[in-house]
Structure 1
Amino acid sequence: AAGTANADVRLFVLGLDGSRTEVVWDRARYPYLAHVHWSEAGAPLLLVQARDQRSQVYLAVDPDTGATRMVHADEDQNWLDLFPGVPCWSPSGQLVRIEDEGGARVLAVGERPLTGAQLHVRAVLDVSEDDVLVSASAGEEAAAPEIGEVHVYRVNELGVERVSQEPGVHSAVRAGGVTVLVSVTLDRPGARVRVLREGKTVATVRSHAEDPGLSPRVTLTQGGARRIPCAVLMPTDYPGDTLLPVLLDPYGGPHASRVVAAHNAHLTSQWFADQGFAVVVADGRGTPGRSPAWEKAVHHDFTVTLDDQIEALHDLAKTHPLDLDRVAIRGWSYGGYLSALAVLRRPDVFHAGIAGAPVTDWRLYDTHYTERYLGDPAAHPGVYAHSSLVTDDGLSAPADRHRPLMIVHGLADDNVVVAHALRLSSALLAAGRPHEVLPLSGVTHMTPQEQVAENLLLLQVDFLKRSLGLGRASAR
């Protein structure tokens, strides 16, 4: 839980002869061992972070003695993010990393940034003598927003070349002269896998994945003055002549995007749309893929993520058939927190909510995640109280009006423990607020059991239709 002691982490180099050498660094100052890299290009490389995650150092290790020396150091007034594939050495022995520079998230080799604000670099996929292979989305200075897209690029001192071409979400692995490009797009289910040599397709890996039998009717757009990335889904058979009840279906928090240019990502939202809703998915401030400032706008205040859901909803209602008198919201994990926050703080906008596995008291969630955004709870108790749904005194800043709320939680959840749901239910009961609690026996943070997942969807639709006065027509 936030503010409590972490595990004591140590690192050793083990020799094939059975020897054991401890790697030494200032573990009191930098307790988080964030990344370890060892390749032919250089000494073992560590990335270690301070507890507040506002400073970190890159350390080269002498494997014979365990001694370390600093290669590079970073600081940030809010926090420092971690990225897949870095740090590492280039074949020439230069440090490869992703950093925030000049308001952009860039690739740096040695001390030189190789990309600018046109790209928002997400991960390093491979490093060769000729270039660095990265995945990136459109940055703030990109020629087009490319909503929901992630592409693969080759980057070196001469410039940037896009490897993936069609709109979608792409990733890749590379070895030698062969690149395997994995692509998902809006217009087809599943993934397309191509083998490239010298930039040309030499083979395609056939997919035998089952067709989901559902095609999302989705529009990717932007909403509000902040140009919030949004996906809008309509019922498959919608004729376009009436206003529709609205279901917001966000994640809406750090580390995960829901507005993506990928077919299968929208299947559940489309199923809800086909039950008679206009479904809106919005990736507001705090979600990844746009700029460091966009992600770090949630520093010490998670409630801005709710503000962006409302801004997107109201702006989209100007151009889409959204009935603002019948608005519900559902979500899981951070999205579950956001859904409960919506009905408790803004019942003037939201008329019902489904909170799946919600964090309700941020003091009870993980140290590394929670303290990154909200700080130390002992130093910032007001920050935690403002962003939480419940405190030791009960509900946190609820509005007067009551709205229907369903709380769903797996009893075996080892990520967001069920105590979160129980504390919220207890606080609601103490405040005299009716609500529904659906405990899922044997279910962890997600619901992989097919029968449970199916029935859970049906129960959610029933709750939404009852709560919005839509009748109880059978789900399709």
Structure 2
Amino acid sequence: MGSSLSRNMAMPSSRRVMSHHSGDSSHTPMRILLTALVLLSAPVLAQPKSVPTPKAAPKSDGFIRQLVETRYFNIGRPMGTSFTPDEQTLFFLRNPEGSRALALHAFDVATGQTREHLTAERLLQRARENLAVEPKARQEPARVSSRGLSSYALSEDGEKLLVGLSGKQYIVTRASGKVTELKTGPGAMDVRFSPDATQVAYVRGHDVYRLDLATNIEHQVTKGGTEEKSHGLAEFIATSEMMRFSGYWWSPDGKALAYTESDTSGVEKLAIADALHPENDARRLAFPRAGKANARVRLGIIPITGGKTTWVRWDVEKYPYLATVRWPAKGPLTVLVQNRLQTEELLLAVDPRTGSTRTLLVERDDAWLTLHQTFPHWLEDGSGFLWYTERNGAGEVELRDASGKFVRSLVPPGAGFYDMAGYVEKDGTVYFTGGPTSDERYVWRLSPGGRPTRVTSESPALELARMSKRGGLLAITSEGPRRMRHTTVMKADGTRVGELPSVAMEPPFQPRVEVRYVGKERYPTSLVRPRDAKPGVKLPVIVDIYAGPGIPMVYQSMQQHLTNQWLADEGFIVVKLDGRGVSPTADAKLRKPKYDWPRLLLDEQVAALRALAAEVPEMDLSRVGITGASNGGYMSALAVLTRPDVFKAAVAVSSVTDWRDYDSHLTERFFGLPDEHPQAYEQASLLTHVKADQPMGKLLFIHGTADDNVLFFHALKLSDALFRAGQPHEFLPLSGMPHMVFDPVLAERMWEETARYFKRHL
């Protein structure tokens, strides 16, 4: 499912994240136990006698807190790699040992040695040295952020670094080491080099600015931006669901900018209040719910000197979503626009002088079109571009000429394409990550007329890769069931150059992960037993679920089973189950179930559970619980409401209750428009399945009061419906918490409560 619907109690791939945040004392949980007893007198919230006395929560061993404080044992591991154009150096960010402050490191390709290139302290010291002629007040040391360097970017020529620190931006000239603090003013966002690295552009106060690096003088480019009509900022739907995080783009010659104008004046405004601090005003969020008004987005082109904007013209009523923008060095300004149902899209070439467009290609899909922000990928000479499509049954990469005409298929549908690592134009070789199964992912090399061959030999593993611009080097990040993430530098032919050093703390144990394909359908599953489990002894089962359409949970990954092992050690067998549609080469109807997908995917979970139990006799199917967050929270609640014959108890975190209350882009992709498919929304709503005379499993749901993704009122709606129906349930609000639980103490308490709840009811 889209990234915004992600699990916050575990940290699998990009869609399920839990990160660290130093929470303040106001972020404390408030426990509300609702038994929904309907009485003739005033309502009384009391625990019914039929419910046994709760067992004590498991004694904390500090693991969960350590897990979150170390970002799943990733603090100290290399991240954010960038090759220099000459392929002599690979830059990356990493925390020094025992520190939370990110520093910039440089790996020397010739020697295989790594050195610390830049720290926050060194950056500030060099900046002060360059301020000798400034007033004394300007030379006082700035307070160093506890996070160190927050970002960096390498210029196209490799000669300059753009570094972010404590909300400020600095230019570092590599040859001399000179550091210049940019006078961008407070609140500058999305700061980026011009193609020739003589300027940077950024957004501040709802307008786009540029700054000349030679003079350090700022110039306003757009004017009139407001909170409801912003310039240069990606709107909510773009960042949450489309993975388009920018709202402006440089022209190749650096003389113009393309920028979005996002008008949210017609979008419904929802309030997010802090119940513990009623003296504070509620935050108003422009949140486009399913079937309601979206932001109106248009694209303009403006000279960097300011002046008149030329607006790009397309049928915005038919194609309201501006999904992707590219302005390549060679080739036209290119935009991808989609219809609201995401079943049709146009790739358009733009004439920057007039704003007129011509169609390069049209894509259609009866279910929905998958956005892939790597594409279009224009060739360096502008003679054509690479394109991603699923029209032939599965993910495929094509080469098309500059007019959009098909040339040839580069990666066939059967290859299991996941993402692009690089394309060597001189010989047409593609490097990509993927493979035929969902639980493993590798880097592949594919030459014209050949078959995909693996670049690496480690197995089983999950791999991601970044290729140098020349195509001679790869930085491959890999993890497996017995090893945490590590990054290796290799030549394109597979020759190992070296490994980026890690100073991360390693987990105190290794999960006992068993990955199996079960049943005649070959469902992917993973299983974790207690480390002291005895053969033949039956144990209750907990299903760890996400189950968004096409999104796998089962991976050959140590990291993604750490919390599963901790929970298993409390006396459970913890399993993850995937349906057939997670396979990258599965039939399109399985990969893209629509309208009734929650029931279909839950049925597949049940079938996979039973198939796994047929092979693992220790699984006691009379005692099955289920837990997940975001979409996983929704599926957990749905499971105990509609399949109490299978699932006896659930802990649902940050769950959607009614899909009519979730955002338009993701929801309508899977359910269509509410007015056109009301039955799909009705059947998918948890409220539909809350009935006074219908048995249900035990349910605890947990929700952050400051959640701006699945808003807190989802939990209130569900609790109200259950209470009115006389259905006992437990509800735990997390005060001040957003969609992700960043606070290590709260994360620890949540997991303890989850274990206690399942011990009590299973």
1:271 is aligned to 2:561: no
1:319 is aligned to 2:319: no
State the TM-score, normalizing by the size of structure 2.
Answer: 0.58
Contact kept in structure 2, 1:253 and 1:287, CA below 8 Å: no
Mapped to 2, the partners of 1:381 and 1:101 lie a distance apart of 28
Answer with 27-36 or 99-108: which moved more: 99-108
Partner of 1:58: 347
Partner of 1:471: none
1:28 is aligned to 2:317: yes
Mapped to 2, the partners of 1:354 and 1:286 lie a distance apart of 25
Change in CA separation of 1:164 and 1:398 when aligned onto 2, cut-off 3 Å: farther
Q: Which of 3, 11, 14 pairs up with 2:302?
A: 14
Contact kept in structure 2, 1:147 and 1:221, CA below 8 Å: no
SS at 1:297's partner residue?
Answer: coil
Partner of 1:155: 446
CA displacement 1:271-302 (0-9 Å, x = unmatched): 11111111110122554744333321244432
Write the mapping of 1:394-405 to structure 2, written as runs, cut at 5 A.
395=689, 400-405=694-699
Partner of 1:118: 414
Write the mapping of 1:176-187 to structure 2, written as runs, cut at 5 A.
176=470, 177-187=472-482
Answer with 215-224 or 333-342: which moved more: 215-224
Contact kept in structure 1, 2:517 and 2:525, CA below 8 Å: yes
Shift of residue 58, structure 1, vs aligned partner: 0.5
Give the letter for the 1:233 counterpart. Answer: V
Unaligned runs of 5+ in 1: 139-145, 469-476
Contact kept in structure 1, 2:462 and 2:480, CA below 8 Å: yes
Partner of 2:15: none
Mapped to 2, the partners of 1:104 and 1:246 lie a distance apart of 34
Q: Which of 628, 634, 641 pairs up with 1:344?
A: 641
SS at 1:11's partner residue?
Answer: strand
Mapped to 2, the partners of 1:63 and 1:101 lie a distance apart of 31
Shift of residue 465, structure 1, vs aligned partner: 0.6
Q: Which of 259, 262, 270 pairs up with 2:557?
A: 262
Mapped to 2, the partners of 1:354 and 1:11 lie a distance apart of 44
Q: Which of 354, 358, 369 pairs up with 2:655?
A: 358
Give the letter for the 2:672 counterpart. Answer: G
Contact kept in structure 1, 2:344 and 2:364, CA below 8 Å: yes
SS at 1:118's partner residue?
Answer: helix
Shift of residue 79, structure 1, vs aligned partner: 0.9
Q: Which of 443, 457, 476 pairs up with 1:165?
A: 457
CA displacement 1:299-331 (0-9 Å, x = unmatched): 443211110110011111111111011110011
Change in CA separation of 1:346 and 1:300 when aligned onto 2, cut-off 3 Å: closer
Contact kept in structure 2, 1:356 and 1:409, CA below 8 Å: yes
Q: Which of 430, 441, 455 pairs up with 1:132?
A: 430
Greater RCO, 1 or 2 (C-alpha within 8 Å, sep 6+) = 2
Change in CA separation of 1:389 and 1:191 when aligned onto 2, cut-off 3 Å: same
Shift of residue 54, structure 1, vs aligned partner: 0.6
Shift of residue 117, structure 1, vs aligned partner: 4.1
Structure number with bigger Rg: 2
SS at 2:565's partner residue?
Answer: helix
Shift of residue 442, structure 1, vs aligned partner: 1.3
Partner of 2:358: 69
Give the letter for the 2:649 counterpart. Answer: A
Mapped to 1, the partners of 2:593 and 2:519 lie a distance apart of 16
Give the letter for the 1:426 counterpart. Answer: D
The count of corresponding residues between Structure 1 and Structure 2 is: 458
Write the mapping of 1:145-224 to structure 2, written as runs, cut at 5 A.
146=437, 148-159=439-450, 160-166=452-458, 167-175=460-468, 176=470, 177-224=472-519
Partner of 1:91: 380
Give the letter for the 1:151 counterpart. Answer: Y
Change in CA separation of 1:399 and 1:215 when aligned onto 2, cut-off 3 Å: farther
Shift of residue 45, structure 1, vs aligned partner: 1.4
Shift of residue 133, structure 1, vs aligned partner: 2.6
Mapped to 2, the partners of 1:249 and 1:268 lie a distance apart of 10
Shift of residue 388, structure 1, vs aligned partner: 1.5
Q: Which of 246, 252, 261 pairs up with 2:541?
A: 246
Give the letter for the 2:508 counterpart. Answer: G
Mapped to 1, the partners of 2:498 and 2:548 lie a distance apart of 38
Partner of 1:232: 527
1:5 is aligned to 2:293: yes
Mapped to 2, the partners of 1:288 and 1:33 lie a distance apart of 29
Change in CA separation of 1:398 and 1:362 when aligned onto 2, cut-off 3 Å: farther
Shift of residue 100, structure 1, vs aligned partner: 1.3
Give the letter for the 1:212 counterpart. Answer: P
Identity %: 39
Contact kept in structure 2, 1:231 and 1:281, CA below 8 Å: yes
Change in CA separation of 1:59 and 1:434 when aligned onto 2, cut-off 3 Å: same
1:458 is aligned to 2:752: yes
CA displacement 1:382-411 (0-9 Å, x = unmatched): 1111111115xxx45798223210010011
Give the letter for the 1:108 counterpart. Answer: E
Shift of residue 255, structure 1, vs aligned partner: 6.1
Change in CA separation of 1:126 and 1:352 when aligned onto 2, cut-off 3 Å: same
SS at 2:444's partner residue?
Answer: strand
Contact kept in structure 1, 2:690 and 2:721, CA below 8 Å: no
SS at 1:212's partner residue?
Answer: coil
Give the letter for the 1:350 counterpart. Answer: F
Contact kept in structure 1, 2:549 and 2:592, CA below 8 Å: no
Mapped to 2, the partners of 1:399 and 1:83 lie a distance apart of 46
SS at 2:548's partner residue?
Answer: coil
